[in-house]
Amino acid sequence: MASERLKELLNQAIARELQVSIQYMWQHVLAKGLCSPAVRDIFKKIAITEMKHAEAIAERLDYLGGKPTTQPSPITVGETLEEMIRIDIKAEEEAIALYRQIIEQATSEGDYVTEDLFRSILADEEEHHNEFQSLLVQ
């Protein structure tokens, strides 16, 4: 079965996914300004994807004999639309770094299912990162 280190990393990933799913959904609700209607839809769409990630990771951790956390990482919403997007870019960068670490750990343990799961999630996170970055281009 999986090492305690891999289980710990998976719980970090669940906490992060819970964090951003809540964070992006609140941003969807609170975003104001001329550009907010289009951006609000992006926040909502990505929030739903992040919740699906949390579920998939929790199912994998349960299979590996771990107990999935129910506690999100700290949530930061921001005040302005630009601040929200900058916060989200940073959150996606942190996820990308964590998920690369998880892929390395899973590979070193020969856990190819976890590796494949996180390769798929990593692709989504890179897409989210790119989408948020493109919102700041004038």
Q: Where are the domains of the chain?
A: 4-136
For residue 85, the Cα-to-chain-centroid distance in whole angstroms is: 14
* Phi then psi dihedrals of residue 34, to 5 deg: -60, -40
Instruction: Say which DSSP state 80 is in.
Output: S
Phi-psi region of 2 (alpha: psi -120 to 50; beta: other; left: phi over 0): beta
Q: Which CATH number fits domain 4-136: 1.10.287.180, 3.40.50.2300, 1.10.10.10, 1.20.1260.10?
A: 1.20.1260.10
Q: What number is the average pLDDT over the span 16-25?
A: 98
Distance CA 71, CA 107 (A): 27
Q: What is the pLDDT of residue 32?
A: 85
Q: What is the pLDDT of residue 35?
A: 75
pLDDT in tens, 46-89: 999 999 999 999 999 999 999 999 999 999 999 999 999 999 99
Distance CA 17, CA 23 (A): 10
Residue 90 has pLDDT above 70, yes or no: yes
Q: Which pTM does this prediction carry?
A: 0.95
Q: What number is the average pLDDT over the span 93-121?
A: 98
